[in-house]
Structure 1
Amino acid sequence: MALDLDGDRADDAQADIRPAQVSVRTGLTAEQVAERVAAGQTNDVPERGSRSVRDIVRANVFTRINAILAVLLVIVLATGSPIDGMFGLIIIANSGIGIIQELRAKRTLDKLTIVGQARPVVRRDGASGDLSPHDVVLDDIIELGSGDQIVVDGVIEEAEALEVDESLLTGESDPVVKRPGDKVLSGSFVAAGGGAYRATKVGKDAYAAKLADEASKFSLVNSELRTGIDKILKLVTYLLIPAGLLTIYNQLFSSREGLFDSLRGMVAALVPMVPEGLVLMTSIAFAVGVVRLGRRNCLVQELPAIEGLARVDVVCADKTGTLTENGMRLADLRVVGDRPQAQIEQALAALAADDPRPNASMQAVAEAYPQAPGWRATAVAPFSSAKKWSGISYGDNGNWVLGAPDVLLDPDNDTAREAERIGAKGLRVLLVASSDRTVDDAAAPSTVTAQALVVLEQRVRPDARETLEFFDDQDVQVKVISGDNAISVGAVAESLGLAGGKDAVDARTLPEDTAGLADTLEHSRIFGRVRPDQKRAMVAALQSRGHTVAMTGDGVNDVLALKDADIGVAMGAGSPATRAVAQIVLLDNKFATLPYVVGEGRRVIGNIERVSNLFLTKTVYSVLLALLVGVTGVLSKPFGFDPISYPFLPRHVTIAAWFTIGVPAFILSLAPNNERARTGFVARVLRLAIPSGIVVGVATFVCYLLVYQGQDADHTTKVQVSTSALITLITVALWVLAVVARPYVWWKLILIVASAVAYVGLFLIPFTRDFFQLDPTNWAWTSIAFVCGAIGAVCIEAVWWIGRAVTKDGRTVFKRGWRAHDGAPA
């Protein structure tokens, strides 16, 4: 999509004519707002985040898998055996559970989105107040300050050294100076200065509305996990076609069974081939993740972020607002110049009072010196992260600047050295100085005379050390990237036990080329005086070395890096621009929430891998069993032996999945899982599921052949034959569950034992035996079934150990000490 920044279109020109009734100073009146609402001139952009209830219901009910199962259900019901249609309950269960979980996630997401959204400050009836973006109407006067997101298209009416960053729209990182009459587009944000603009395009007419509608959807797009599952489902589809056709031919034409029995056998063969719960379990795992993180005030704006953060191996953290709290306190004012302290304090009070959007440093100054002298400002230079100073000229009262000592002064200056010594204690130091020219001069600040050092005390977050230790234990590197003095940043990092604090790097000495920057980043962890464009370059350099990078930040200087990082994490108290581009927003501003996000991602990835193994194993053995039975049936005529039909009824394959896949998969998908996320999801699943499925299928078929008595056998004999084959299938499938559930903790052992006991009950209780047509009373055949099952279990165990040796996977069968943190199912 091309970006029209010149605005040559006729409708733009017409929109830029301000109605005579609208006052820039007072804004719209209540009556004017009502008129525009009635005319539909509101900012009715789609809600960010979740799908509508209708979309959720449609997506969970009208699925390909449900359609296949529904057709098979109709066929079974037509045979007059509704009990064999129990698998139809899967349709209700899949749809119902999926809808309930997604609705829970939607409620959580919508609540958090309202809390975390940017709220523009709008002038109405002579007063300014923040509103929801949806409440903005055409011609509203919207005030701007540093870090504010521009929520609708408009025209600048007031500008005070206003610079707008349009990089999210154009890709150009240099801020653009805006003056009255200039246009601004939604999707950009204020880099420095302040002002006000009039809304000329709202709702779907605004430039970024369509982009926001598409980019903000709560979806599984770009998820390696979802992509892997799609590949698996494609593979399953390819397997289903030949196996299904062969089964249909064998049951309807080769076997000598009646039509209804043949149809039931065909359905019994096709139903287990469908991995009906795989997509469901994935959706549930992600949805539950959203709810769990929502309880910790963590807003997941893009679902793959849960998965992505689990794969992160480098976290780039800003110091202020991440390792330290946003609030500061003025600890000392050290006069170093020729001006009296009273005048310096007056200058500081004036600078703080005249800053319309003070940052944390200026707020600390304002708290210390609340009595402004009433000086009249004649020129203003707002603070920006690139130049690291701000200033105001006050005519006869002088030109005053406030900023970084090592930027405004020569490093060899005594005052600069003193500032460095103070910063080495972890304190933040600003220089207040007088300048020889007005601050809006092109050459400003030119020659400055140091007047005093403003010493600010930063409070380290009490949970920062524990969070850093967590990442260190998980082999995740933490890089502290800050705009503050490198020595001060290093001191704070060192106080938190982060190695490399004494070797903090001043970013002004960093190489410009990506390769050189990447080399430096590999060996250093603490960086100070980093410009916004350097933060972005650092992220790119780390990514060039194959790292998966998460960037945390809260200020406008972090926006570009947050946007380019694999995962952007913003603080809820940060600027609206950072929250807009981040995939994850920590609404409680706690850096310590990140380990929970990582843990949730690991739970999702690790558990879905387990569940995928179970479902794909079932598909493989079902397809293989159908192929073996079908091929035998096809070859029966030319070779003159008795054809065989499918060994199971639909009710048999339904109960076979209950406690080997269904219930265990649901529990395992929600259980804690601390295994580190790794790439190669599809390969690992296939490596275990395919050989396991082959073992289950072959063991079941061999047992079936050993006890098969021909198609002319009586009903009781056929039931005993089917029961024996089913015992073998369940025995080997239970061992697959036992392998997939590793490493063991107490509740997993209970799950496996309970599943086995449930099957014992089904086979021994008279009612269930009659209901499901089970008869294990032929002890010779039952013994054969258990022997085949035992051999199959040994083969499954061998498959796991061989796979472990080939991949050099470090998982252990029993966790040392049965560690409690692996937890019980939630």
Structure 2
Amino acid sequence: MANDEIDTVGTLPPTDVDVRTGLTSEQVARRRAEGRTNDVPSRASRSVRDIVRANVFTRINAILGVLLLIVLSTGSVVDGMFGLLIIANSAIGIIQETRAKRTLDQLAIVSQSQPVVRRDGTATAVAPSEVVIDEIIELGAGDQIVVDGTVVEGELLEIDESLLTGEADPVHKQPGDAVLSGSFVVSGSGAYRATKVGKDAYAAKLAEEASKFTLVHSELRSGVDKILKVITYMMVPAGVLIIYNQLFVSEQNLGSALNGMVAALVPMVPEGLVLMTSLAFAVGVIRLGRRQCLVQELPAIEGLARVDVVCADKTGTLTENGMRLAELRLLTTGAGGDETRVRDALAAMAGDDPRPNASVQAIAEAFDHDPGWTATGVAPFTSAKKWSGISYDGNGNWVLGAPDVLLDPASDDARTAEEIGAGGLRVLLLGEGDVPVDAAAAPGRVTPRALVVLEQRVRPDAADTLAYFAEQKVEVKVISGDNAVSVGAVAQSLGLPGGTRAVDARDLPDEPDALADVLEDSTTFGRVRPDQKRAMVGALQSRGHTVAMTGDGVNDVLALKDADIGVSMGSGSPATRAVAQIVLLDNSFATLPYVVGEGRRVIGNIERVSNLFLTKTVYSVLLALLVGLSGVAAQLFHFDPMPYPFLPRHVTIAAWFTIGIPAFILSLAPNNERARTGFVPRVMRFAIPSGLVIGVATFVAYALVYAGPDQTETQKIQAGTTALITLIMIALWVLAIVARPYVWWKIVLLAGSVAGYLVLFSVPFCREFFKLDPSNVAATTTAFVCGGVGIVLVEVGWWVSGRLHGEKRRLFSLPESPAGSDGS
């Protein structure tokens, strides 16, 4: 969208809308009937129709569906059992995604910012979707602009449009100026009339450009998609080669040839991989939802698993939101410095603030009387200047803000404030300026009147949370706008390394490389401006860190947007909740370890099951190629060709206990290992060697017992059984490797898988139904020998690969840690 559209000056409201009272109920009802509402569907949630379509019409289901039709055309219904996977994949995916959608929708309603509109002369908070055209909407610091409009009232109103335009500086808005949805109020107050709602609004148009709003890249999903494309291309030549071998080389009838082709192609399809990926994400959303955590972008779960630096604000994150007045310390007496006048000034300033922050609320509770002063000028608080002020007719120009900003740092009063702040208390200076607070030269020369000492309680679970991150090798950087000494005191009390060496951000270098050096060495920072928070996130990212930023104030918005993962508190400003990928609705920093743990569970388990599915794909492709090429070689060198060893029912049961059921359990199991980049190469390093071993060992076992083209039906079944036993033995060992390190339930899972196959091969009904015959001692012995050799090769390969790539290998899990580790 062109910049000239952004800068367009709006028009004043039409005559039928009274700015003071807003729309009447009748006018609202008429506009709703005309469809002129802000009813834009949430981008955080897909519709049920979209979920059904996405889970039914998949590449996997399409491939399996075609193969199912081919098998059914031969009349072999039993061999079409793999078609049940289409139903299972679709049903499980739909059910879990629908549950996740319901969870997301319910949490999104709780988290949703509610603009305040004027209707029938009353200010009312409504859902964004209930806003209609011509609505008069009130604004205050931290509010998000929900629809496009024109300013009708403005008192030092400053709007940050950086999320839309990239311009870093807030824009001063006066009556008649246009405001755009997606921007937010930095300071001041006012009201605007809605001129564009719904899909016509600026942010709704931008939402169609995914790059503007989708900040999280999913390496898992892109990796899985890449693997599926390669597999699809591989299936075509493999299928052609197999059908050629079955029909023209082995000279089987059409039905047997087609069954052999399907048996070769079905295991190439990693049918459960996409399902397990979607399932793990969906279950993650549901689990986090139970902890009052709203995931606004699903890949954010994966992103948190990769986080190695958490940037946390002090106020509202490490400390509780609420404050109370601990002390009022007078600095001057006489000439306006008496206690009564100071108390009156504080009461007046707190009472005249339409949108008080936590500090002003604490002052208002302590000084709740009305001195009757008349305000003549206002300077709202901003994170950049660190002070606010109000001028009163005949009662002076009062300012309230940071002592180290308003005072000479070398003065006795500044030193006193710093000493108090060193105890972890928040200290504000109340002073009188010699110029009106709304003058260009404000605050002018400030005469200190009193230090307002506020007490913040450290969250009782903050220390445990920091200890968890330290144990998990995740660095925590405390980045706050408060005095550095005060921030350091809080960090030190929580045992954060480096808390005693708090850095004043006013001394930080602007050069990104130098800033990154400071950030690598320090953990605690005070007096950080909003633009510096953003720069600090960028500097950490430039050193290869994956950064999560937590915050709740309007000064955190830019840093939240630029961080790899933005985490907002539920009580935070609407703007912070809008740009964050994750919202902690319970306002508890202690929830973050569970979010990180859930991310690690998702990504770690998907990698585990990917190893299983892709190993199956590799050995299936290799076995098909070996059988097909042996047929070509048989024609060239005049020896007996071999048909494909398995029926479709064989490859179905081969996956039951080596992949299907175990993969489902492993995808939902606890896992607390920090995720690493390089998902696809790491999976391939395991799947390709393991698949090669299984494919070659199975082919060799089959070749050794194959009795030639004149074999009896019994010999044919025994040869297929031999190949199947070899395959299952090595595949079970691959499962045993993937399940490491072992805990008790994994050992039970492995034992159950082995028991499942023992039942299939020993119960007469199962042997007859699945055409299994292990009664030939020589053939079965061959299977065990080939399987044993394959197991040794896979095991050696796993240890050698770990040594070559510096990966730690463990057979058994370490003892569980108390901070949420599951020992996986």
TM-score normalised to structure 1 length: 0.97
User: Deviations along 1:170-203, whole A, 9 cap, x unmatched?
Assistant: 1111111111111100010000011111101111
Match of 2:169 in 1: 174
1:137 to 132, 137, 144: 132
State the partner residue of 1:640.
Answer: 638
Aligned residue in 1 for 2:699 = 701
Cα drift, residue 819 of structure 1: 7.1
Report the alpha carbon displacement of residue 393 of structure 1 after superposing the two structures with TM.
0.5
| 2:230 pairs with 1:235 | yes
What is the identity, as a one-letter code, of the residue corresponding to 2:121? G
| Aligned equivalent of 2:4 | 4
CA positional deviation for 1:263 = 1.1
Distance (Å, rounded) in 2 between the aligned partners of 1:248 and 1:653: 17
Gaps of 5+ in 1: none
Structure 1 match to 2:677: 679
Matched position secondary structure for 1:503: coil
What does 1:373-772 align with in structure 2 at a 5 Å threshold? 373-772=371-770
Q: 1:96 aligns with which of 87, 91, 104?
A: 91
Distance in 2 separating the partners of 1:318 and 1:253: 72
1:256 corresponds to which of 224, 248, 251: 251
Cα deviation per residue 1:474-521 (whole Å; 9 max; x = unaligned)? 111111110000000000000000121221111111111111111111
Q: Secondary structure at the match of 1:455?
A: strand
Q: 1:558 & 1:642 partners in 2: Cα distance?
A: 74
Is the 8 Å Cα contact of residues 48 and 213 (structure 1) preserved in structure 2?
no
Checking the alignment, whether the CA contact within 8 Å between 1:745 and 1:822 is kept in structure 2 is no
Identify the residue that residue 286 of structure 1 maps to in structure 2. 281
Residue 221 of structure 1, CA deviation: 6.6
Amino acid at match of 1:470: Y
What is the identity percentage for the equivalent residue pairs of Structure 1 and Structure 2?
A: 72
Q: Distance in 2 between matches of 1:597 and 1:136?
A: 33
Q: Is the CA contact 2:148–2:195 (under 8 Å) kept in the aligned structure 1?
A: yes
Residue 67, structure 1, aligned to residue 62, structure 2: yes
- SS of 1:101's equivalent? helix
Q: C-alpha separation between the residues in 1 aligned to 2:152 and 2:241?
A: 74
Structural RMSD (CA):
1.6
Checking the alignment, whether the CA contact within 8 Å between 2:815 and 2:823 is kept in structure 1 is: no
| Residues 225 and 605, structure 1, Cα contact 8 Å, conserved in 2 | yes
For residue 774 of structure 2, give the secondary structure of its aligned residue in structure 1: coil
How far apart, in 2, do the equivalents of 1:379 and 1:744 lie?
69
Structure 2 letter corresponding to 1:525: T
Residue of structure 1 equivalent to 2:36: 41
Structure 2 residue 267 is matched with structure 1 residue 269: no
Asked if 2 retains the 8 angstrom alpha-carbon contact of 1:49 and 1:217, the reply is no
Contact residue 671 and residue 824 of structure 1 kept, 8 A: no
Show the counterpart of 1:107: 102
Task: Return the offset for 1:140.
Answer: 0.6
Compute the displacement of 1:818 (Å).
Answer: 7.1
Query: How far did 1:256 drift?
Result: 2.2
Kept in 2: contact 1:3–1:169 (CA 8 A): no
Q: 1:691 to 1:86 in 2, by over 3 A?
A: same
List aligned pairs for 1:146-185, cutoff 5 A: 146-185=141-180
CA shift, 1:217, in A, is: 11
Query: 1:456 Cα deviation (Å)?
Result: 0.2
Distance 1:125 1:216, change over 3 A: farther
- Look up the SS of the partner of 2:37 in the other structure: coil
Matched letter for residue 380 of structure 2: P
Structure 1 residues 650, 819: CA separation in 2 closer, same or farther (over 3 Å shift)? Answer: farther
Q: Deviations over 1:673-705 (max 9, x none)?
A: 111111111111011100000000011011101
Distance 1:82 1:217, change over 3 A: farther
CA offset at residue 471 of structure 1? Answer: 0.8
- What do the CA deviations read for 1:116-167 (whole angstroms, capped 9, x no partner)? 1111011100111110000000011100000000000111111111111011
Q: CA deviation at 1:530?
A: 0.6
Q: Aligned in 2, Cα 1:242/1:678: closer, same or farther, shift over 3 Å?
A: same
Conservation of the 8 A alpha-carbon contact between 2:142 and 2:186: yes
Q: Which amino acid aligns with 2:290?
A: R
Q: Which residue of 1 aligns with 2:196?
A: 201
**Paired residues of 2:813 and 2:823 also in contact (CA < 8 A):** no
Would you say the 8 A contact 1:375–1:397 is kept in 2? yes
CA deviations over 1:645-681 (Å, ceiling 9, x no partner): 0000000000000110001111111111111111111
Pairwise CA distance, 1:3: 3.0
Amino acid at match of 2:811: V
**How far 1:212 sits from its partner (Å)?**
3.0
Question: Residues 576 and 220 from structure 1, CA distance in 2 versus in 1: closer, same or farther, beyond 3 angstroms?
Answer: closer
SS of alignment partner, residue 315 of structure 2: coil
Structure 1 runs, 4 residues or longer, greater than 4 Å off: 5-8, 213-221, 817-825
- Report the Cα distance in structure 1 between the residues aligned to 2:299 and 2:58, rounded to whole angstroms: 22
> In the alignment, what sits opposite 1:360?
358
Alpha-carbon deviation of 1:815?
Answer: 1.7
Report the alpha carbon displacement of residue 2 of structure 1 after superposing the two structures with TM: 2.2
Deviation at 1:822, TM superposition (A): 5.8
Aligned to 2:271, what secondary structure does the other structure show?
A: coil
Query: Which residue of 289, 298, 306 corresponds with 1:311?
Result: 306
Aligned-pair CA distance for 1:6: 5.8
**Match for residue 804 of structure 2?**
806
Give the TM-score taking structure 2 as reference length: 0.98
**Aligned-residue offset at 1:812:** 1.1
CA distance in 2 between partners of 1:811 and 1:166 (Å) = 51
Would you say the 8 A contact 1:661–1:737 is kept in 2? yes
The CA distance in 2 between the partners of 1:3 and 1:240, in whole Å, is 50
Q: Using a 3 Å threshold, how does the CA distance of structure 1 residues 474 and 745 change in structure 2: closer, same or farther?
A: same
Deviations 1:388-433 (A, max 9, x none): 0001001101111100001000001111111000000000000111
CA distance in 2, matches of 1:69, 1:125: 61
- Partner of residue 789, structure 2: 791
Q: Which moved more, 1:216-225 or 1:287-296?
A: 216-225
For 1:182 and 1:262, locate their aligned partners in 2 and report how far apart those are by CA, in whole Å: 75
SS in 2 for 1:501: coil
Q: CA deviation at 1:48?
A: 3.1
Mapped contact 1:747–1:824 kept (Cα < 8 A):
no
Quick one: distance in 1 between partners of 2:651 and 2:425? 69
Q: CA deviation at 1:214?
A: 5.1
Mapped partners of 1:650, 1:218: distance in 2: 46
Deviation at 1:210, TM superposition (A): 2.2
Taking the aligned partners of 1:436 and 1:819, their CA distance within structure 2 comes to 60
**Equivalent-residue separation in structure 2 for 1:613 and 1:819 (angstroms):** 27
After TM superposition, give the deviation of residue 239 of structure 1 in Å: 2.5
Aligned length: 820
1:215 Cα deviation from its structure 2 partner: 4.4
Q: Kindly provide the amino acid, as one letter, of the partner of residue 796 in structure 1.
A: V
d(CA) in 1 for partners of 2:486 and 2:624?
A: 70
Aligned match of 2:71: 76
